[in-house]
Chain A
Amino acid sequence: MLILAIDTATSVSSIAVADDSKIIAEITVDNRLTHSETLVPHIEAAMKISEKSKDALDGIAVSIGPGSFTGLRIGLGTAKGLSYALKCPIVGVPTLEALAYHFPVPGVYTAAFADAQKGNVYFGLYSFKEGNIIEVKPVQVLPFAEAVSYCGTLDAPVMMAGDIFRKKSAKKVSLPENCDKAPSNLLLPRAANVALLGMRMLSEGKKGNVMDMEPIYIRKSEAEVLWDRRHPETAAKSEPSSIMIDAISGERGVRND
């Protein structure tokens, strides 16, 4: 299975080309946020270096979140276009699980964090067993300090990673004795991990659908949070949706997905 993987969930923009036996090529850049400019040129380069034709791709794996909203959409939009045009399946790989794949060590936990702004993090807890990443705690949004002190209560060593450690505010939080921060080469996500997890998911039949796939945001937009706070009575009601119109015939609601 030849697969192209994309991870643009953080300040890192990473592309990998992999087949069943190995990571053939990876381009990982962490140098200013220019994902929107460079992602497709990097994909082109990675395919060229791999000496593989894009028509030979059996799948597209994309880091699906949580992470930077805009970064996730750049990655997913690009992945959707590729999947649709090359007629190959797409799969969304949970970003923090892919990050935890840096640490395939039995008997320890991996705490994966993604910056959720204002001192908060998306926090997922993982362990490794018999070649698999196990989700110990589903991803949630917490103040970083709270997530760290929770890790201090765990009964095993905890390896911590994620872009939150790039923030000045994170340096003020001291780590409990059983916790350690990953070195810089393993601190942020890389597409090689997304490729391996994506390949496994695809072989398990876990395909996404380009027609309705969304990033995993976890959080609502700021405007919706404010609205729900001010209008608790309508918060639970179903949301209005977009209307598709054929502008030539004037027909409305032309497609129901």
Chain B
Amino acid sequence: MIEKDILTLGIESSCDETSAAVLRGGRQLLSNIISTQIPVHQKFGGVVPEIASRKHIVNVMPVIDEALSRANVGLGDINQIAVTYGPGLVGALLVGVSVAKSLSYALDIPLIGVNHLEGHIFANFLSYPDLEPPFVALVVSGGHTALVHVKGYGHFEMMGQTRDDAAGEAFDKVARVMGLPYPGGPQIDKLAKDGNPDAIDFPRALSKSRGNYEFSFSGLKSAVLNYLNSMEMKHQTIVKADVAASFQKAVTEVLVDKAIDALSETGLDKLVLAGGVAANSSLEGRLKHAATEHGVKFYFPGLALCTDNAAMIACRGYYQSLTGKYSALYLNAEPGLSLESRMD
């Protein structure tokens, strides 16, 4: 089998999206099917883990079946299976892992357990066929914020990550307090478009210290909540659009500053944005602007590939297989898996 013809079936079920994808080689995406549960969780104001698991077990086979049929391949043509084994909701992860393991056993093909966060970075390889390491990746997802020096396909160096709340969590909590429907991130993004980003001066935690790539958003989150409370106590009108715009500016400024710092320290000229929060248009816009100002090339996987999907898992799995990083059938879900430095 020539490497570029290897067919990888990717499976993803870490949160509220059930997804399956077929990838030829490392870059040629044949299908990417996503079943989203957002409408199901909306009334609860967030993802309910038990409900998510219940939807995954129903959706998982139709999604796989559809991914194969859209790719125009049979299950017997698949050479290997890549599945997200963490981080995420344990019950949700277990659905994908159980199905992937039994498919791997039944078809006698290798299994590759993939770190979901590494998957987010690899989404960029699908959008940019010519993109190659090394580069700096800014990972901004619901539960994680991190700057990673990607030195090779299996060689990452963690530059810094969040100490407390991830950027995505801050977005969700602020949105909830402002009474915006779930999912909160896109709602704040939308609202912020009509607001004044300089209306309120929220704090930028840890932003001043050069060479420190840790993030902290819990202070900012508290500042927004305090602001909303105090305005309410004083019976003053809250201009939600201004709050959203100012909060969003505070978050994106920190992210942009640190990313630019990381680029100058590593001397690299490629910045890659990854993760669900990457869909935030203001963050994408500011990063792109800052990157261009600093003569840096900016990469962003596009909306469909920056939310949770199996294509990115298949892509990560493919490159993992090249260095022989397969998993045993004993693979278990690891809800607390983190993004770490590694050298395969």
Using a CB–CB cutoff of 8 Å, the interface residues on chain A facing chain B are 34, 36-41, 43-44, 54, 69-70, 73-74, 76-82, 84-86, 210-215, 217, 221-224, 227, 239-248, 250, 254-255, 257
- Residues in A with CB closer than 8 Å to B58 are 212-214
Q: Is B192 an interface residue (CB 8 A)?
A: no
Chain A residues with Cβ below 8 Å from B330 are 37-38, 41
Asked if A43 contacts B105 (CB within 8 A), the reply is yes
Which residue in A41, A70, A215, A246 is a CB contact (below 8 Å) of B32? A246
Does B191 touch A at the CB level, under 8 Å?
Answer: no
The contact size tier of chain B is 35 or more
- Interchain Cβ contacts under 8 Å between A and B, 18 examples: A36-B333, A38-B330, A40-B104, A41-B328, A44-B105, A69-B50, A78-B101, A81-B98, A81-B106, A214-B57, A240-B40, A242-B40, A243-B35, A243-B39, A244-B59, A247-B311, A248-B31, A254-B66
In the complex the two chains form, what is the Cα distance from A70 to B90 in whole Å? 9
Confirm or deny: B4 has a beta carbon within 8 angstroms of a beta carbon on chain A. Answer: no
Q: How far is the CB of A38 from chain B (nearest CB, A)?
A: 7
Contact B33 A85 (CB under 8 A): no
Give CA–CA (A212, B56) in the complex, Å: 11
User: Do the beta carbons of A221 and B50 come within 8 Å of each other?
Assistant: yes
Selected from B59, B94, B104, the residue in CB contact (under 8 A) with A73 is B94
Closest 10 CB pairs of A and B: A81-B102, A77-B98, A85-B106, A221-B50, A240-B39, A247-B32, A247-B304, A223-B48, A78-B102, A40-B101
- Whether the pair A215, B61 counts as a contact (CB closer than 8 A) is no
User: B98-111 CB contact bits vs A (8 Å, 1 = yes)?
Assistant: 11111111110000
- Interface flag for B309 (CB, 8 Å): yes
Residue of B nearest to A210 (CB): B61
The residues of A that contact B257 with a CB separation of less than 8 Å are: none
How many Å lie between the Cα of A247 and that of B31 in the bound state?
Answer: 8
CB of B145 within 8 Å of the partner chain = no
Known A85-B107, A244-B33; judge A221-B332 contact (CB<8 A): no
Contact B51 A221 (CB under 8 A): yes
A40 interface neighbour in B51, B65, B102, Cβ under 8 Å: B102
List residues of chain B with CB within 8 A of the CB of A255.
Answer: 62, 66
Cβ 8 A contact of B94, one of A70, A210, A215: A70
The answer to whether A215 touches B40, judged by C-beta atoms less than 8 angstroms apart, is: no
A257–B329 touching, CB < 8 Å: no
Among the listed B32, B61, B95, B106, which residue makes an inter-chain contact with A248, where contact means beta carbons less than 8 Å apart? B32
Tell me whether chain A's interface is mostly helix, strand or loop, or mixed: helix
Q: B106 is contacted by which of A41, A82, A240, A245 (Cβ under 8 Å)?
A: A82
In the complex, the answer to whether B34 meets A244 with C-beta atoms within 8 Å is yes
Q: Shortest Cβ distance from B58 into chain A, in angstroms?
A: 6
- Is B234 at the interface (CB under 8 A from chain A)? no
Chain B proximity of A29: nearest CB distance (Å): 14
> Inside 8 A of B59's CB, which chain A residues have their CB?
242, 244
Contacts of B91 in A (CB 8 A): 69-70, 73
* Nearest CB on B from A224, distance (A): 7
Interchain CA distance A246-B309 in the complex, whole Å:
11
CA distance A221 to B329 in the complex (A): 30
Select one of A34, A213, A248 contacting B29, CB under 8 A: A248
B57 and A215 within 8 A (CB): yes
In the complex formed, the residue of B with least CB distance to A215 is B57
Asked whether B218 is an interface residue with its Cβ less than 8 Å from the other chain, the reply is: no
Q: Does B316 contact A (CB under 8 A)?
A: no
Interface set of B (CB-CB < 8 Å, partner A): 18-19, 29, 31-40, 42-44, 48, 50-51, 53-66, 70, 75, 90-91, 94-107, 304-305, 309, 311, 328-333
B18, A242: Cβ atoms closer than 8 Å: yes
Contact B62 A82 (CB under 8 A): no
What's the least CB distance linking B45 to chain A, in Å?
10
Q: A81-B98, A211-B62 are in contact. Are A242 and B105 (CB under 8 A)?
A: no
A18 to chain B, nearest CB (A): 18
How far is B99's CA from A73's CA once the two chains are assembled, in angstroms?
A: 10
A69 and B53: CB pair below 8 A? yes
Which residues on A sit within 8 Å (CB–CB) of B90?
A: 70
B105 touches A241 (CB 8 A): no
CA distance A28 to B112 in the complex (A): 27
Chain B residues near A69 (CB, 8 Å)? 50, 53-54, 91
Q: Which of A77, A239, A247 contacts B40 (CB 8 A)?
A: A239
Contacts of A257 on B, CB cut-off 8 Å? 62
In the complex, what distance in Å separates the CA atom of A80 from the CA atom of B305? 27
* Bound-state Cα–Cα, A84 to B103, Å: 8
How far is the CB of B19 from the nearest CB of chain A, in Å?
8
B94 adjacent to A36 (CB under 8 Å): yes
Residues of chain B lying within 8 A (CB to CB) of residue A80: 60-61, 99, 102
CB distance from A134 to the nearest CB of B (A): 30
How far apart sit A255 and B50, CA to CA, in the bound complex (Å)?
24
- Within the complex, the shortest CB–CB distance from B56 to chain A, in Å, comes to 8
A84 touches B33 (CB 8 A): no
A222 to B42, CA, bound (A): 16
**Structural contact, A247 and B33, CB atoms closer than 8 A:** yes
Cα–Cα distance between A39 and B332 once the two chains are bound (Å):
10
A76 touches B57 (CB 8 A): yes
User: Is the beta-carbon distance between A73 and B66 smaller than 8 angstroms?
Assistant: no
